[in-house]
Amino acid sequence: MKRIVLLGASGSIGDQVLDIVEDHPDQYVIIGLSVGRRVEKLAAYLRSHDVPYACVQYEEDRKALEVEFPNTVFFSGDEGLKKMSELQCDLFINALVGFAGVVPTLTAIKTGNTIALANKETLVAAGELVNQALQENNVKILPIDSEHSAIFQCIQNAPSSDVKRLIITASGGSFRDRTREELANVTVKDALSHPNWSMGSKITIDSATMMNKGFEVIEAHYLFDLPYTSIDTIMHRESIIHSMVEFKDHSVLAQLGQADMRIPIQVALSHPERLEMQRDNRLDLLKVGTLHFEELSHERYPLLALAYRVGKAKGALPCVMNAANEVAVSRFLKGEISFLDIERIVIGMVDAYENHPITSVDQLIQIDQETREKALLF
């Protein structure tokens, strides 16, 4: 039995992790769960499962749950997420969204836990600190993001010197068929209707701006130890090929599958083995028929171009870009700013920042906080 700690259990990825766990009751047991505000979801799970540790975002929720579930130890807030990350387990799954995932990932690495990572913002904002901690603690990260799961499966244990290029595929997001001029008046509802994937709202907006693909380039740089010049992106509308690896002998390996996150989630959970999939999500290429590939233009998607520039610059800039983006997306979702204001805020805040190296997580937390405050008014 693998003992699992899952952070972000009430989200889109968290939900699907619980699906895979339920599908294999003889393989996995949840020993710790966290949710944000959706306490009812946690309570429902605790009514049917014995879970020794749980965490909620707010203190008042913790007090109420402690009365109903005396056999579970409850934590709350950021400090609670840190406590959850100190629990010894066989697999620590980070399905939080945003910078909130950084300290839990770093803490779980220090605890020595193998990590299954959905929270890409961890690697965007803190990639250098994370890789240093992974080395020091001899810990591994297993990717959940579909593109990185694809690369992980294709690359196996090949040394990075055997790899010529990673080709990260992109569906194109909600606005792939609109020109930049047509983006001026798009609504939140338009932006939230992704053609291929059903996901949390933040990543759905990040997919529409292509910030998500930029984040994935940075994520791939840190996961697979390759320079940015060896990481390409390509638009692939069908989301059937989840990414590719070109080796130095010009052989290209691709991973294919239906657009269902439960596949890469199960790959990460069962690694290094494979388990029978219990869901109806087999790929039928005859139904798909044709696969398309198009250029992903850096002019059409300036946040993709920005991510390359910021990734190469390293230091504090990736954290600034991430924080500015989190605030801009949240303001857009609240209807406070227009879609194109997201780009304006993120690019403007990166360009206004005097970059410098990062030496500690506390420094990173401070930069994240300061950037958020400024981005609210930018």
Under rule CB under 6 A, residue 168 binds ligand NAD: no
> Which residue, 192 or 277, has its beta carbon nearer to ligand NAD?
192
Q: What's the CA gap between 239 and 288, in Å, rounded?
A: 10
Locate 225 and state its tokens.
């130890």
Under rule CB under 6 A, residue 11 binds ligand NAD: yes
> Which residue, 203 or 244, has its beta carbon nearer to ligand NAD?
203
Under rule CB under 6 A, residue 12 binds ligand NAD: yes
Under rule CB under 6 A, residue 95 binds ligand NAD: yes
Site for ligand NAD in 255-274 (CB under 6 A): 261
Under rule CB under 6 A, residue 118 binds ligand NAD: yes
Whole-number minimum distance, CB 94 to Mg ion, in Å?
A: 15
Between strands 163-170 and 231-235, the pairing is parallel
Q: What is the DSSP letter of 179?
A: -
Q: What is the DSSP letter of 218?
A: H
Q: Which of 33, 65, 89, 97 binds ligand NAD (CB under 6 A)?
A: 97
Under rule CB under 6 A, residue 200 binds ligand NAD: yes
Nearest CA among 305, 300, 349, 297 for reference residue 183? 300
Q: Which of 61, 121, 326, 343 binds ligand NAD (CB under 6 A)?
A: 121
* Binding-site partner at residue 51 among Mg ion, ligand NAD, none, CB < 5 to 8 Å by type: none
Under rule CB under 6 A, residue 120 binds ligand NAD: yes
Under rule CB under 6 A, residue 197 binds ligand NAD: yes
Integer angstrom CA distances of residue 201 from 208, 281, 286, 311: 11, 23, 32, 24
Residues 6+ apart with CB under 8 A from 371: 319, 320, 323, 324, 327, 349, 353
* Binding-site partner at residue 268 among ligand NAD, Mg ion, none, CB < 5 to 8 Å by type: none
Nearest CA among 281, 118, 316 for reference residue 203? 118
Q: What's the CA gap between 42 and 145, in Å, rounded?
A: 24
The residues binding ligand NAD (CB under 6 A) are: 8-14, 34-36, 57, 95-98, 100, 118-121, 145, 197, 199-200, 202-203, 261
